[in-house]
Structure 1
Amino acid sequence: MKLSPSIALIGNPNAGKSSLFNQLTGLRQKTGNFPGVTVDKKSGPWSINAETVATIVDFPGIYSIYPKSLDEQIVTDILANPAHADYPDVAVVVVDASNLHRNLLLFTQVADLGVPVVLALNMLDVAKAEGKEVNAVRLAMRLGVPVVRINARTGEGLDQLKKAVLGQIKEPVLSGKLFFDPADEATGLITDTRNQYQLDNNYLALQYLIQHDGFSFLSRPQQIGLDALIDKYAFNEQKFQAGETITRYKRIATITAEVVANQRPVNQATWTQKLDRILLHPVWGYAIFGFILLLIFQAIFAWAQPFMDGIDAGVAWINGQLKESLPAGPLTDLLTDGILAGVGGILVFIPQIAFLFFLVALLEESGYMSRVMVIMDRIMRKFGLNGRSVVPLISGVACAVPAIMATRSIGTRRDRLITILVTPLMSCSARLPIYTILIALVVPKQRVLGLFNLQGLALMGLYLLGLLSALLAAYILKLLLKTKERGYFIMELPTFKMPRWNHVGLTVWESVRAFVWEAGRVILAISIVLWVLASYGPGDSMDVAEAQVRQNNPTLAADELANRVASDRLEASYAGQFGHFIEPVIRPLGYDWKIGIALLSSFAAREVFVGTMSTIYSIGSGDDEEGVTIRERLRQERNPKTGGPMYTPALAWSLLIFYVFAMMCMSTLAATQRETKSWKWPAVQLVYMMGLAYVAAFFTYQFMQ
């Protein structure tokens, strides 16, 4: 039987912990939740040797075991509770060798808790580039635990890491004397706490005293008992914790002075520091960020278009071939006009989704995205948001659900709540299919100044509109939700580095797969339901509608008559009647009953709008012309009242503005409920976003008409 020890990866943000996790687990990693909480848990198997396959868990990045957010709290909650399901047999503490003095603070705290530790000395190449040489052997002697030199980006040193971890599993070696012993300053209090709670570690006893209110494993009577001890000894928690931090840094300074040789002149700037002078500049920083955004949206249109055209034509060709080769009947119609039309309407946008995630991954891997968060923090504070709100808002460009979950790093309740409520206003990837297909209808493929594509500029404008509306909504909420809490934004800027192409590729693959799988399942189900609703009607209403068309239009050409019959049959179907039921509400926005059906179906997920339109217009088209794609069908659609194009600029922009603001995602509302533990805030989110969408779309249509 193979051993299955539990290994925890612990470290500061940007120390390379996640990169090491990817190296050790590869594609076998899985994501879940830590027991009892909604904090994400990434885990995977690690084959240490033929007999030992460990379960490695990537803990949230923290600077100290004294938490300031929900993500950080779970780490301390586990390390202070040996009975926890995720308590590690060995903790691999990953440290940034270029900033050893700060990184060792967390290591000394974890080691003092009595957890068997291996120190993984990462980013030695960065340290060397900065003129720092770290003596790993001397460091191991001073710390009293195994120290391994690794490169988490390339996988260098993993064999030595395996040996060190295996040694700690078989014969745990602890650091011996505590780096900070609280009994030196509070002997009676620590002794009483150990005796009362059967603890064998002085530092763990201190954590019971300071953090007992946040420990989920302590009962209420136990917490009250600790409060009594604190009162008995007049224990000042904050003062004691500050003294501990000072003492630790003093001892760490003596260690780093012995093991780190600094060969660079003190005043000589690194190339990362030189770049930061420009990228973090109060003027040039924003200008460069705006230019990069412009390039991204230009690339989404320019680079993806050939691939999109190929997929579009391929889906249309397959649809035509199926109609020719399969016998006519309901099953063939379901397959071609229902399933294939709906799913094909999403597959065509894979290239744009892939390019978006590819470019964002490049920015993250290079280290530039952290600079974006810093310069945007200056703006966010003026609107009442915590600087950490930048992370969820930027993540919201991909998907609002994980972005809302990322708000757990925000320490104050008000700032976290405001961020949760405004994050869905950021245009996520699910809106991209709607944006691109409507922009392609009404914005010409024209270049501005010979460089910028007009369609790309329109797309960028929609994303900026989402950002500006999120900031404005945050400012209003700040005025409504008054509190005396103050938020802080602390972030360590990583050095600039070349992107790891395997990580970029993995990010793109996972993102596209998740988008297609999640959207595909919903679209497949809705396409089938919608096809049924659009293909059948109450009683003989559809047959009656067809008979009336044929009777009233005896002189129409065959093709034109077929189109009229198909349109009137669709209008008489269940779907058509439901669309007519809501049409009076949406008519002021310029929408007809067909668009109404798509609006309602897209409440499940925004991207369903395109799939629904594909299904509706496939059913509503009476001709059998092959190669007609959804874009062509929308372009050919006629307004029955005017006889002109249905999708005028006024209608298209009304729809675009509607989807910039609309809360059309059940998953996002569910995530809001889970994070706020109340249905009140999802209801607020739904009402204010839908109201804003309706009003904005109304004025857009009326103004442009």
Structure 2
Amino acid sequence: MAGGQLLSGRAGAGVSAVQLENAALRHPGALTRIALVGNPNSGKSSLFNQLTGLNQKVGNFPGVTVDRKTGISQLTSQHRAEIIDLPGTYSLYPKSLDEKVITDLFYDQTSPQYPDFVVVTVDASNLRRNLLLFTQLADMGLPTVLALNMMDVAEQHGVKIDIPALQQELGVPVIPMNARKGVGIAALKIVMAQTLDAPTGQFYQPAEDLLPMIRQIRYYFNLHNDYLALHYAHQYRHISFLKPDERTYIQELTEQYGFKPTDQQAQETISRYQRINEILLNCVSVTRTEQNEPYSNRLDRVLTHKVWGYLIFFSVLFLMFQAVFAWASYPMDLIDRGVAWINGLIQTNFDGPLINLLTEGVLAGLGGVLIFIPQIALLFAFIAVLEETGYMARVTFMMDRIMRRFGLNGKSIVPLISGVACAVPAIMSARTIENRKDRLITIFVTPLMSCSARIPVYTVLIGLVVPDEAVLGIFNLRGFALMGLYLLGFFAAILSAWAMKLLLKTQERSYFIMEFPVYRWPRWKNVGITIVEKVKAFVFQAGKVILAISILLWVLATYGPPGRIEQAETAARTEATRQRLTPEQTEARVASERLENSYAGVFGHVVEPVIRPLGFDWKIGISLITSFAAREVFVGTMSTIYSVGQDADQQTVQQKLAAEKDANGQPFFTPARAFSLLVFYVFAMQCMSTLAATYRETKGWKWPILQMLYMTGLAYVSSLLVYQLLK
């Protein structure tokens, strides 16, 4: 087997500042397509943000990028480019679904997304490992630029890189940079805008006895080089765009030539690393040797300890939920009172059906969402800091010890923790799990984690039945209750995973490989962007649904079958006169009868027999159904229902629910009912979007339907037990 042989190229001599400034544009005014590729934790997503200006979430652990993301970058005043952000990977031999996104792109030369050239992002402090992917991409024959990222980290470790020598060895432009701080971005843009038609170096030549097979594949598929043809021989079973007869053709060739893909890949990797070692000996030196153990290793001894690690992680979660309840209470009260004040002001000065629609429908519904902005912002702030610092990767490694006992692996903790924010991207992030069984189980149980959309439900109901008292002088009792609900969802998820582990049989071996990023101070700009994005998504996406549902509910709760509301109103006034009720009591009785005999009331009474054993009435039944669109709609629905026909002047959502009475005149939301409803929402399917995400990832309706039936059944039975025990 021949070793790699470098070809001399125009870029190999180095790229001076004068050359960069005077570089000719490839296609003036055209939109060049650039693929951004790199190892996990090489700073690729940060570079994508810097190039495109898009507020994409940046995470400091493998797997945060699962789908291809694109953005437009203004390289020069005359040249724009489309940047394609690809998932992090260590090589072109995919082991998971997210890595397959890369091979699907680079194997198909006819694809409209096929890139004009590639930017490979590497960690300058760990060049040996990062250059393996670069040499594979270079051998694909595409023009390539090497973005030498994290130069500050390399300098801290005493690593000195001879940039001109490295350019000469690799035959491509090498741009030193720090993507987190934007250093080197301008130089990279100029290099990407110039003509890069010269061939890169050739780092690997397949064995002579494989060339006949490779050349036949190359010419049959009209491929542009031998190395791409070799990958067809490796991956033909998994290349999605190949037709059955084309797969059969390659299979027959590999059998004819006795091709052994595993052995060949191992030989290729060894050969590449031999060449990489030669390059690094010529271009990289270590100016000092660290005498002491690296600081991150000393931290890891504590943060991943089999005892202290779990205690620290539990403390971090405890602090997060305390903050979500305690720190957010003041701005939440201001928002709630502000919405109630505006509502009361409008009702005092204006009247009419449209005013009732605005105050009882739109403002009542949206007020139930706006109040939770402080809590959502705090939750995502904590998650963003955990990702930015690198702690999330340690949690993934640490939890692998527990997860394996329940049919999962350490990478499952990423979707589970992400599910605390939203189940949809959490389910998508399960693509990083190589084992199919582990991936399916993770997708199935992730919705049991309480997402941020459930916070409004939890907050209102906990506020009704849990005293606002301090524990040990500094902790809030309601914070304990909130954390208990999240832990209940987590334990339900892992126990469900354990049951599925016993039911699903597979011969596929599960393994776990995780790279620890270095600890870094969070970049507060990224944290701020994450908070703003998630709050905007929460308000605007939920707001659209809530606005539509609030208007529909107001109409359904205001009007009813012909003559029915009028008859109920007359009967209520007659009964009030007989009982000699006060005018205020009479109006309350009339409003209640109007609502109960409206279209919404009729529909609620249809579902009431099913949910009555859980302690729920027809009003809660309406809210349960509407909240399937989005969990946060529950509070808006309850607020709208309890506003219609009522004197809602300056009443907050919680005050409306607290004032609700049962048939005996007692508070309706007793601890038994409130906790029954809380448990139902812990276990019930989150929303339609979650089912859609499961369908997309499993490519069929089998798993979404099973997921829906299981979670609904679990929620119903658990809620029934809680209510019957507590009532």
Are 1:659 and 2:688 an aligned pair? no
Cα gap change, 1:199/1:574 in structure 2, threshold over 3 Å: closer, same or farther?
Answer: closer
Q: Post-superposition shift, 1:152?
A: 0.6
Aligned partner letter, 1:142: E
Is the contact between residue 10 and residue 91 of structure 1 (CA under 8 Å) also seen in structure 2? yes
Per the alignment, residue 288 of structure 1 pairs with 312
Q: Whole-Å Cα distance in 2 between the matches of residues 443 and 223 of structure 1? A: 63
Aligned partner letter, 1:692: L
3-state secondary structure, aligned to 2:446:
helix
Q: Post-superposition shift, 1:446?
A: 1.3
Q: Which structure 1 segments of 5+ residues have no match?
A: 32-37
Are 1:494 and 2:521 an aligned pair? no
Is the contact between residue 68 and residue 101 of structure 2 (CA under 8 Å) also seen in structure 1? no
Q: How does 1:58-73 map to 2 (within 5 A)?
A: 58-73=85-100
Cα gap change, 1:68/1:657 in structure 2, threshold over 3 Å: closer, same or farther?
Answer: same
3-state secondary structure, aligned to 2:237:
helix
Per the alignment, residue 702 of structure 1 pairs with 724
Q: Whole-Å Cα distance in 1 between the matches of residues 483 and 164 of structure 2? A: 53
Q: Post-superposition shift, 1:190?
A: 2.4
Aligned partner letter, 2:401: R
Is the contact between residue 180 and residue 244 of structure 1 (CA under 8 Å) also seen in structure 2? yes
Q: Whole-Å Cα distance in 1 between the matches of residues 586 and 283 of structure 2? A: 87
Q: How does 1:157-556 map to 2 (within 5 A)?
A: 157-167=184-194, 170-176=195-201, 178-184=202-208, 186-265=210-289, 268-326=292-350, 328-554=351-577, 555-556=580-581
Q: Post-superposition shift, 1:543?
A: 1.3
3-state secondary structure, aligned to 2:35:
strand
Cα gap change, 1:30/1:360 in structure 2, threshold over 3 Å: closer, same or farther?
Answer: closer
Is the contact between residue 601 and residue 618 of structure 2 (CA under 8 Å) also seen in structure 1? yes
Q: Post-superposition shift, 1:44?
A: 0.9
3-state secondary structure, aligned to 2:53:
helix
Are 1:22 and 2:49 an aligned pair? yes
Is the contact between residue 66 and residue 429 of structure 2 (CA under 8 Å) also seen in structure 1? no
3-state secondary structure, aligned to 2:497:
helix
Deviations 1:77-121 (A, max 9, x none): 211222212211121100011111110000000001001110001
Per the alignment, residue 112 of structure 2 pairs with 85
Q: Whole-Å Cα distance in 1 between the matches of residues 488 and 722 of structure 2? A: 14
Q: Whole-Å Cα distance in 2 between the matches of residues 697 and 572 of structure 1? A: 28
Per the alignment, residue 47 of structure 1 pairs with 74
How many equivalent pairs are there? 692
Deviations 1:611-641 (A, max 9, x none): 00000110152x35x2111101111111113
Deviations 1:32-80 (A, max 9, x none): xxxxxx9622111111111100011101111110001121112112112
Deviates more, 1:483-492 or 1:62-71: 483-492
Per the alignment, residue 562 of structure 1 pairs with 587
Q: Post-superposition shift, 1:267?
A: 5.7
Q: Whole-Å Cα distance in 2 between the matches of residues 615 and 528 of structure 1? A: 9
Is the contact between residue 119 and residue 144 of structure 2 (CA under 8 Å) also seen in structure 1? yes
Aligned partner letter, 2:624: L
Cα gap change, 1:156/1:163 in structure 2, threshold over 3 Å: closer, same or farther?
Answer: same
Aligned partner letter, 1:568: E
Per the alignment, residue 34 of structure 1 pairs with none
Is the contact between residue 398 and residue 410 of structure 2 (CA under 8 Å) also seen in structure 1? no
Q: Which structure 2 segments of 5+ residues have no match?
A: 1-27, 59-64
Deviations 1:1-44 (A, max 9, x none): 6121011110011110000001111137799xxxxxx9622111
Aligned partner letter, 1:499: P
Aligned partner letter, 2:186: D
Per the alignment, residue 617 of structure 2 pairs with 592
Q: Whole-Å Cα distance in 2 between the matches of residues 701 and 289 of structure 1? A: 33
Cα gap change, 1:165/1:494 in structure 2, threshold over 3 Å: closer, same or farther?
Answer: same
3-state secondary structure, aligned to 1:295:
helix
Q: Post-superposition shift, 1:269?
A: 1.6
Identical aligned residues as a percent: 57
3-state secondary structure, aligned to 2:92:
coil
Q: Whole-Å Cα distance in 2 between the matches of residues 393 and 565 of structure 1? A: 48
Q: Post-superposition shift, 1:349?
A: 0.5
The alignment's TM-score, normalised by the length of structure 1, stands at 0.96
Deviations 1:299-335 (A, max 9, x none): 1112211111111011111111211232x22211111
Per the alignment, residue 129 of structure 1 pairs with 156
3-state secondary structure, aligned to 2:68:
strand
Is the contact between residue 582 and residue 593 of structure 1 (CA under 8 Å) also seen in structure 2? yes
Cα gap change, 1:681/1:221 in structure 2, threshold over 3 Å: closer, same or farther?
Answer: same
Per the alignment, residue 676 of structure 1 pairs with 698
Is the contact between residue 387 and residue 488 of structure 1 (CA under 8 Å) also seen in structure 2? no
Is the contact between residue 30 and residue 44 of structure 1 (CA under 8 Å) also seen in structure 2? no
Is the contact between residue 650 and residue 700 of structure 1 (CA under 8 Å) also seen in structure 2? yes
Cα gap change, 1:533/1:384 in structure 2, threshold over 3 Å: closer, same or farther?
Answer: same
Is the contact between residue 388 and residue 489 of structure 1 (CA under 8 Å) also seen in structure 2? yes
Cα gap change, 1:331/1:142 in structure 2, threshold over 3 Å: closer, same or farther?
Answer: same
Q: Whole-Å Cα distance in 1 between the matches of residues 555 and 160 of structure 2? A: 70
Is the contact between residue 57 and residue 530 of structure 2 (CA under 8 Å) also seen in structure 1? no
Deviations 1:410-461 (A, max 9, x none): 2222221111110100000111110111111111121111121111111111
Q: Whole-Å Cα distance in 2 between the matches of residues 631 and 157 of structure 1? A: 53
Deviations 1:521-579 (A, max 9, x none): 11111111111111111121111111111111122111111111101110111111221
Q: Whole-Å Cα distance in 2 between the matches of residues 587 and 295 of structure 1? A: 37
3-state secondary structure, aligned to 2:34:
strand
Cα gap change, 1:89/1:429 in structure 2, threshold over 3 Å: closer, same or farther?
Answer: same
Q: Post-superposition shift, 1:211?
A: 1.0
Q: Whole-Å Cα distance in 2 between the matches of residues 464 and 185 of structure 1? A: 59
3-state secondary structure, aligned to 2:644:
helix
Is the contact between residue 30 and residue 42 of structure 1 (CA under 8 Å) also seen in structure 2? no
Q: Post-superposition shift, 1:202?
A: 1.6
Q: Post-superposition shift, 1:378?
A: 1.2
Cα gap change, 1:29/1:495 in structure 2, threshold over 3 Å: closer, same or farther?
Answer: closer
3-state secondary structure, aligned to 1:5:
strand
Is the contact between residue 619 and residue 641 of structure 2 (CA under 8 Å) also seen in structure 1? yes
Are 1:100 and 2:127 an aligned pair? yes
Are 1:113 and 2:135 an aligned pair? no
Q: Post-superposition shift, 1:406?
A: 1.3
Cα gap change, 1:190/1:218 in structure 2, threshold over 3 Å: closer, same or farther?
Answer: same
